[in-house]
Amino acid sequence: MHKLYLKNLYVNLNRKEILKDIYFDVKKGELVSLLGPSGCGKSTLLKTIAGLIEPNNGDILVDGEQIKGIAPEKREIVIVFQDLRLFPNMNVLENVEFGLKMKGIDKNTRKIKALDMLEKVGLAGFEKRKVFELSGGQKQRVALARAAAAEPEVLLLDEPFSSLDEGLRQKMRELVMTLQRQLKITTVMVTHDQSEALLMSDRIAVMLDGKIIQYDTPRNVYEHPSCPEVANYFGEMNYIKGIVEKETFKSPIGDFKALVIDGDYTLMFKPNHIKVINKPGEYRITALNYLGDKYNVRVEGHNINLFIIMPSDSNIKIGDLVSIEIDFSKGIFYKL
């Protein structure tokens, strides 16, 4: 059974349709990311699950039970917002205890649980600190400890690391993954960071314009994007238009075997599926950008422009005429 299941979900805000026909499931103990650009509906979906926004249509089920219409505080769902919403008048321990206190847990039990959770997030000894005495990363840990201590059926994270620098973000990602797997908390996380979603998730739901357009494992979303919009979200791709006739794709860069039905197609290649061969050819290097251990390279030929990533120790320069080699087995066909 799915721990969380959304069916036929629609949400309108200010007479505008924000979420459209959402079907979404999360298995017990999974960490699922909602990935997509700003304004695509990720945070609205999270708030709808939490009960902060009421859907216009559809079902929200936890363990097979309908929770639509149930007050947020009675849903056994905890949400951690970007701004954390810690209580400045409380010390660290009191903040972590808060959810347990609202559940009516006795003082001694909630203190034991809160102290245990603070130890798990690396804040043992911080229980008497005030919120204003903490660093940004420490505040994140307190918010996470407070959420996990409440032992929610579902934990929701709304871009929890967006305010942190990259080094601290990586540490917090590792902490969340460790804690989530130790406690087996069913978790849904909103992010617009592709690498974060790939690193942390059991599955990724890619959202665009209020819809989930692909929902799959990180590997499948990255290696087999369902449409150009998903592919482009993971970086600039190469697209070559052509036609398939009798299992042959005919294009400006040549013909090759294609096991798809006849018709007009766009063929997508990732930048690392094309190699520059440093010998005279029909493609001219028009841009060469150094990025440490790699170059971002642009080549033009046969009236097409290709974007390629290659090692920075390559002996090439702008203006060179070169050959290219494409791994056609890695191409993905999108029918026009």
| Per-residue H/E/C for 66-90 | ECCCCCHHHCCEEEECCCCCCCCCC
Mean predicted confidence (pLDDT) in 221-229:
96
Residue 11 maps to which CATH number? 3.40.50.300
**pLDDT tens per residue, range 152-179:** 999 999 998 877 788 888 888 998 999 8
Which single residue is written with the structure tokens 């700003």? 38
Residue 320 maps to which CATH number? 2.40.50.140
**pLDDT tens per residue, range 2-11:** 799 999 999 9
Residue 205, pLDDT score = 98
Which single residue is written with the structure tokens 């708030």? 47
Residue 183 CB coordination number (10 Å): 15
Examine the domain organization and report whether 122 and 150 are in the same domain: yes
Examine the domain organization and report whether 184 and 255 are in the same domain: no
Residue 109 pLDDT > 80: yes
Examine the domain organization and report whether 217 and 252 are in the same domain: no
Examine the domain organization and report whether 209 and 258 are in the same domain: no
Domain count across the chain: 2
Examine the domain organization and report whether 210 and 265 are in the same domain: no
Q: Mean pLDDT for the chain?
A: 92
Residue 107 CB coordination number (10 Å): 10
Q: How far apart are CA 200 and CA 330, in angstroms?
A: 25
Residue 47 pLDDT > 70: yes
**Percent of the chain scored above 90 by pLDDT?**
74
Residue 225, pLDDT score = 97
Work out the pLDDT band at 224, boundaries 50, 70, 90.
very high
Residue 231, pLDDT score = 95
Examine the domain organization and report whether 129 and 250 are in the same domain: no
- Boundary (domain end) residue, out of 178, 213, 233: 233
* Statement: the pTM of the whole predicted model exceeds 0.75: yes
Examine the domain organization and report whether 58 and 167 are in the same domain: yes
Work out the pLDDT band at 35, boundaries 50, 70, 90.
very high
Residues 6+ apart with CB under 8 A from 73: 102
Work out the pLDDT band at 311, boundaries 50, 70, 90.
confident
**pLDDT tens per residue, range 191-215:** 999 999 999 999 999 999 999 999 9
Mean predicted confidence (pLDDT) in 41-53:
96
Work out the pLDDT band at 332, boundaries 50, 70, 90.
very high
Q: 264 is written with which tokens? A: 């007009």
Residue 237 pLDDT > 90: yes
Distances (CA, A) of 141 to 56, 161, 194: 35, 11, 22
- Boundary (domain end) residue, out of 176, 204, 233: 233
Examine the domain organization and report whether 257 and 123 are in the same domain: no
Mean predicted confidence (pLDDT) in 50-64:
95
- Boundary (domain end) residue, out of 184, 218, 233: 233
Residue 1 pLDDT > 70: no
Handedness of CA 301, 302, 305, 307 (dihedral sign): negative
Examine the domain organization and report whether 68 and 211 are in the same domain: yes
Examine the domain organization and report whether 204 and 297 are in the same domain: no
**pLDDT tens per residue, range 238-294:** 999 999 999 999 999 888 889 999 999 999 999 999 999 988 999 999 999 999 999
Q: 227, 334 in Cβ contact below 8 A?
A: yes
Structural domain containing residue 321: 238-335
